[in-house]
Chains A and B, each alone.
Chain A
Amino acid sequence: MSFAKQNILGLSVTELSLALSEKWISSQELTEAYLSKIEESDGDLGAYLTVTAEIALSAAKRADILLSKGNARPLCGVPTAYKDNLCVAGVPTTCASKMLEGFIPPYSATAVKALSEQGAVMLGKLNMDEFAMGSSCCTSAFRLTRNPLDRERVPGGSSGGCAAAVVSEEAPYAIGTDTGGSVRQPAAFCGAVGLKPTYGRISRYGLIAFASSLDQIGVISRTVSDSALILNALTDVSARDTHDATLAKLPPIDFSKDINSGIRGLRLGIAPQFFGKDITREISLAVDNAVKTYNSLGATIVNVNLPSLKYALPAYYVISSAEASSNLSRYDGVRYGHRSSAPSDSIEETYICSRSEGFGDEVKRRILLGTYVLSKEHYSDYYQKALKVCGLIRTEFDSVFHQCDALIAPVTPTPAFKIERDFLSPVDQYNGDIYTVPASLAGLPAISVPCGTTSDGLPIGMQIICRPYDEKTLLRVARSFEAEVSAR
C-alpha cells in the first residue's frame, strides 16, 4: 500500500515509525517529500537556516537498508531537524548570530548523535532567537520566522523555527532547547507539543550554552506520544554520556509504556500564581476547561500555593544573563566566528569591534546585564539574591509536590503576538516568560500541550509541570488530555 504525498507529511512520528517498519513507505520517499515541502513553503515561513538535503538523502538511503533488514530502531528513517544551537559535525551551526556565521563544528552534540545512531534523517538546522535569547524568533540575525497559523504573528521563541517547521509540516518533529520556556512557549504559540525534560535528564554536550544551569534540550512534536518516543531515544544515549557532568545517572526508562493508562486517582494542583493579572481571559478559560476535563477523567484537583513565584522572573533574568555573559565571552573573534575587519591597534580593539559587530542588541543587553550582576560590587545584591530566590522556589515546588502529582498552568499569558512589537520595552517582552521560568529555575520537567484556540483562531497552550525526573507522569497526564480532546 502507499500513501498520497500530502498524507505522508501529516503523519505523526509514531505513525511514520510504523509505516516505515511495515515498508508502506521508504525513508527516501518520506525524506524527498519533506525536502520538497521545505522548498515549496519555507521561503515564506522562514523556519530553516540550513537545509541539508544531501545529508538527508544519504541518511535516508542508509535508513532504508536498516529498515529492510527488519531490526531498525523506532526513529530510523524518520526525518527531523535541529535548532541551530545544537552542534552537528560538518554542518554550519550559528545560533542565528552573525558572531557564529560560517562556524562549522568539528563534533556533534550528544543529542544529535543519539538520534543519528537511531537512524534519524536530518533535514537541516532551524531558526531561533540569537543565542536563544528572545521569545519571538525576531532576534535572529538571519531571517524572520512566521507563525504558520497567522503569518503576521511570531512563532514564539527561542525555538521558533522548530515549532513553525513541525506545525507547517516541514518536519515531523524537531529538537529544540529550553532555558526559560524556549520549547514550551513556541509550541504553545504554534499549537504543537513542547517537552522540556528535567534538567540533567538529557546531555547538554554540544548544545551551545546560553545559561548552563537552566539550558535543557527539548522536543517539539505534533503529539504527546511522539515526544515520549523521541525522549526514549535521547535518554538512551544520555545514560551513557560522559561529557556532561550535570547529567543525572539514571537507567533508561521506556516513556511510551503506560502513557495511555489514564490519570484516575492522580492529584493535579492549581496555583493562583499561575493566573495573574496579565493573563488573557481566553487563555485562563481554556486552562480552566482543561482542568475540568481532567476532573471528569478522574483526577482530583487541589489548590496549592507557590508564593515565591512572584520573584521568579527577575531571578531568572539575573541568573540567565549572568551565565550568558560568561558563556558568550569566548566569542572574541580570535579562533572562530566573526572577526571585525576594522583596522585596530590592539587585541582589545579587535575584541571590542568583533563583539560589537557580531552580537545583536538583545544579546548585548543581556551580556551587559549579566556582567553587571556578576561584578564584585553588585554580586551579592543581584546574583546571590537570585540564587536564593531559586532555592526558595525549589523548596516551594518540593512541598507542593507533596500535595499533588502534577501542576496545571498556562504556558503564556497571551497568545502569539504580532511581529511588529518593537514598541514593547524589553521588560514587557520578558514578562511573557512569567509562567515558563518557574519550572526552569527549579529544573522541573514541563510540557506544553494545545488546549484550545482564541477567537482569532490562535492556539492556546496548557502547561503541565511534574516532580524532577517524573517525565512518565508528565507524559501520562499530557497524553490523557490529548486523547480525550481528539476523541471528542
Chain B
Amino acid sequence: MKLIKDYELVVGLEVHVELSTESKIFCSCPTAFGAEPNTQVYPVCMGLPGAMPFLNKKVVEYAVKAGLSTNCEINSFSRCDRKHYFYPDLPKAYQISQFDIPICRGGWIDIGNKRIGITRIHIEEDAGKLIHHPLNGTMIDCNRCGVPLLEIVSEPDISSPEEAEAYVKKLRSVLVYAGVSDCKMNEGALRCDVNLSVKKIGQSRLGVRTEIKNLNSFAFIRKAIEAEYIRQVNTLERGGQIIRETLRFDTDTGKVYTMRAKEDAADYRFFPEPDLPPIILTVDQIDGIRPQLPELPDSRKKRYSEQFGISDYDADVLVSNRTVADWFEAVAEMSKYPKIAANLTISQLFRLLPADIEEIPLSPAAMAEIADMSGDGEINSSVTKKVLDEAYMRGTSPREYVRENDLAQINDPSVIQATVYRVLSENPALIADYRSGKTNVKKMLMGLCMKLTHGKADPVKMNELLEKLLNSEE
C-alpha cells in the first residue's frame, strides 16, 4: 500500500483463535463444529444458576504451547477474571477471561526481515451465537458458549495491510504447527480485531486509535485496514479529529461504520474469578510441555535451505503449511533430488491442491519417484507434469505410467539430430524469418520438433541443437 501525504500507518492486532481441545474450557461438553443448536451444552456453559466453571487443563497446556511457539515468557502465576457485559449470547452476563495477568507475555514472531512483538496471550471462553430467524425471531445457540479461545495481542509494530496479512498468516502457521488450533477461518476459528492509528512520518507520538472488530478473512483484514487508513488520513487532512471508537467493517460496501464510541463503552468491571483458583505453572511443568512442540516453521525453513539447497523463498512456501511441510519432508527423505521435488511441489502440486490444504492425496513416494525420474533425465518436463497429474488424480504409479505409455525421454543424440534436421529442411521459410530477425519463430520450430517426438525428447538438448543450427552461417 502506498502512504498518503506522509502519513504512517500504525497497527496492532488482537487475534482470537479457537483451540482444538475436544472439550470446552470450563466443562466437559464437546466442541465439535456444526452440531445442531444447543446440543453441546451443560449447566456450566449455559450459565445456569449454581453451575461452576472447572478449568480444562488442556487449555492451559495449549496456551503454554502457543506462548513457547511465539517466544513468549510463560507466567508462573496467572489467573482468570470476569469481564461483564449484557448480551443475549453471553449466558452469565460475564465472560471468563484473563485481565491483568495473562498466561503468556512478551513474545515475537518474524515476518520476512521484520519482527512483530507479541504483548500477551491469554485464555478465555467464547460466547454463543445468535440466529436471526424471519418467523421465530432471534434465537440463541449456546454450542459455542465455553469454547476455548486464545487472544493474542500484538505490539503496534505493523505498518501496512500486507504486513498485517503476513503476520496473521505466520501466526496461523505457527499455531497450526504447535497443534493448538486448526485456525479454520471459514469456521470462525481465527478472528481478528484491528487497532489502527496514523501519524506523520518522523512523529513519535501515536495518533488516536480506532478498533475494527471481528474480521474473519485475510482479504477483509487487508481491506479494512486500507479503508480505515484512508478514512483517518482524509479526516485529519480535512482538519478533523479522530475519535476513539469501535468500528465494524462492512464486507459489502468495503467501508467501516461506527459500532460504539469509546465514551459510552461499557466498564467491564473486571475482577478475579472467585470460582477458579489461580493458574500456577512450575518450571518443571513448562519444561515438560516444551519437548512436545514440533520443529517450528522458522527453524524448518533454515534447515530446508541448508539441507536441500532450496531458495529461502521456496522454503518459506513449503513450511508455511504444516501438512505440506511434513509431506515434503517425507518426499525429501525418499528422493535423490529434494530440490526438484520442492520445485515440483510449488510449481505443479500447488496448482492441483485446494486453497485450504488439509491433506495431500499424492503419496510422498510417488512424488519422490517423479522427482527422481525427472532428475535422472528419464522424463522431460512436460511428461513430468503429465505424470504428476495422473498420479494425483488417479493414484497411478508414476514409473508404471511412463512405461505403459512409452513416455520415457528420448535422449539419443542421433534421434534428436534427425528430428531437428527434418524440421529445418521442411521449413526453409521459417529459417529465413528467423535469420531476418523474427527470432520468436524458434518457438514454433521447437514445437514442431517436440511434436515429432510425441513430446518425449529432451527439450534442453533439442533446443540447444536447434539454436546452434539456426545461428550457424550455413
* Interfacial residues, chain A to chain B (CB-CB below 8 A): 85-87, 93, 95, 100, 103, 105-107, 109, 204-209, 211-213, 242-246, 322-323, 325-326, 329-330, 332, 334-336, 347-348, 351, 371, 374-376, 379, 383
- A207 and B86 in contact (CB under 8 A), knowing A212-B274, A371-B269? no
B94 at the interface (CB under 8 A from A): yes
Return chain A residues, CB-CB under 8 Å to B94. Answer: 326, 329
With both beta carbons as reference points, the residue of chain A lying nearest to B26 in the complex is identified as: A245
CB neighbours (8 Å) of B274 from chain A are 211-213, 246, 323
Known pairs A107-B43, A334-B140, A374-B271; A100 contacts B49 (CB<8 A): yes
22 contacts between A and B (CB under 8 A): A93-B50, A103-B49, A105-B48, A106-B48, A208-B50, A211-B274, A243-B54, A245-B52, A245-B54, A245-B55, A245-B277, A246-B275, A323-B274, A335-B46, A335-B47, A335-B91, A335-B140, A348-B86, A371-B269, A374-B271, A379-B271, A383-B271
- Give CA–CA (A86, B49) in the complex, Å: 9
In the complex, chain B residues 39-58 whose Cβ is within 8 Å of any chain A Cβ:
43-44, 46-55
B50's partner among A206, A326, A329, A379 (CB-CB below 8 A) is: A206
The B interface is mostly helix, strand or loop, or mixed, namely: loop
Q: Whole-angstrom distance between the alpha carbons of A85 and B49 in the complex?
A: 9
Q: Which of B43, B55, B94 has the most CB of A within 10 A?
A: B43
Enumerate chain B residues within 8 angstroms of A383, measured Cβ to Cβ. Answer: 271
Count CB-based A-B contacts (< 8 Å). 96
Known A-B contacts A212-B275, A245-B275, A332-B93; the reply to A374 vs B269 at CB < 8 A is yes
CA–CA, A86 and B51, complex, Å? 11
Which chain B residues border A335 with CB–CB below 8 Å?
A: 46-47, 91, 140
Most buried by A among B82, B271, B277: B271
Residues B241-285 near A (CB distance < 8 A): 267, 269, 271, 274-277
- Which residues of the other chain, A, contact B82 by a CB distance below 8 angstroms? 326
Residues of B within 8 A of A (CB): 43-44, 46-55, 82, 84, 86, 88, 91-94, 140, 267, 269, 271, 274-277
- Residues from chain B with Cβ under 8 Å of A348 in the complex: 86
> Which residues does chain A contribute within 8 Å of B140, judged by CB atoms?
334-335
A213 nearest CB neighbor, chain B only: B274
Q: Shortest beta-carbon distance, A17 to chain B, in Å?
A: 29
A93 to B50, CA, bound (A): 10
A461–B342 alpha-carbon span in the complex (Å): 84
Q: Is the CB of B276 within 8 A of A330?
A: no
- CB <8 Å contact, B49 and A208: yes
A330 interface neighbour in B44, B47, B267, B275, Cβ under 8 Å: B47
Which one, A244, A323, A325, A334, contacts B52 given CB within 8 A?
A: A244
Q: In the complex, what residues of B have CB within 8 A of residue A374's CB? A: 84, 269, 271
Q: How far is the CB of B3 from chain A (nearest CB, A)?
A: 37
Given contacts A334-B140, A347-B88, whether A326 and B49 have CB atoms under 8 Å apart is no
Residues B93 and A330 in contact, CB atoms below 8 Å apart: yes
Bound together, the chains give a CA A103 to CA B47 distance in angstroms of 14
Report whether A375 and B267 are in contact in the complex, using a CB–CB cutoff of 8 Å: yes
Whether A329 lies near B54 (C-beta < 8 A) is no
B-chain residues with CB within 8 Å of residue A212 when the two chains form the complex: 274-275
Q: Chain B residues near A330 (CB, 8 Å)?
A: 47, 49, 91-93
B52 near A105 with CB under 8 A, answer: no
Contact of B49 among A93, A246, A322, A375 (CB under 8 A): A93
Q: Which among B50, B53, B55, B88 is the interface contact of A207 at CB below 8 angstroms? A: B50
Nearest-CB residue, chain A, relative to B46? A335
Q: A330-B91, A332-B86 are in contact. Are A375 and B269 (CB under 8 A)?
A: yes
Which residues of the partner chain B approach A211 to less than 8 Å between Cβ atoms? 274
Are B86 and A109 within 8 A (Cβ)?
Answer: no
Given contacts A329-B92, A335-B46, A335-B140, could you give 6 more A-B pairs where the C-beta distance is less than 8 Å? A208-B49, A209-B50, A245-B52, A326-B82, A330-B91, A376-B269
- Could you tell me the distance between the alpha carbons of A13 and B43 in the complex, rounded to whole angstroms? 33
Please name the 3 residue pairs, one residue from A and one from B, whose CB atoms are nearest each other, closest first: A329-B93, A212-B274, A213-B274
Return chain A residues, CB-CB under 8 Å to B49.
87, 93, 95, 100, 103, 105, 208-209, 330
A359 CB to nearest chain B CB (Å) = 14
* Most chain B beta-carbon neighbours within 10 Å: one of A204, A326, A348: A326
Q: Which residues of A contact B86 (CB under 8 A)?
A: 329, 332, 348, 351
A245 touches B276 (CB 8 A): yes
Q: Which residues on B sit within 8 Å (CB–CB) of A334?
A: 88, 140
Residues on B with C-beta less than 8 A from A204 are 52
* Min CB gap B60→A, angstroms: 13
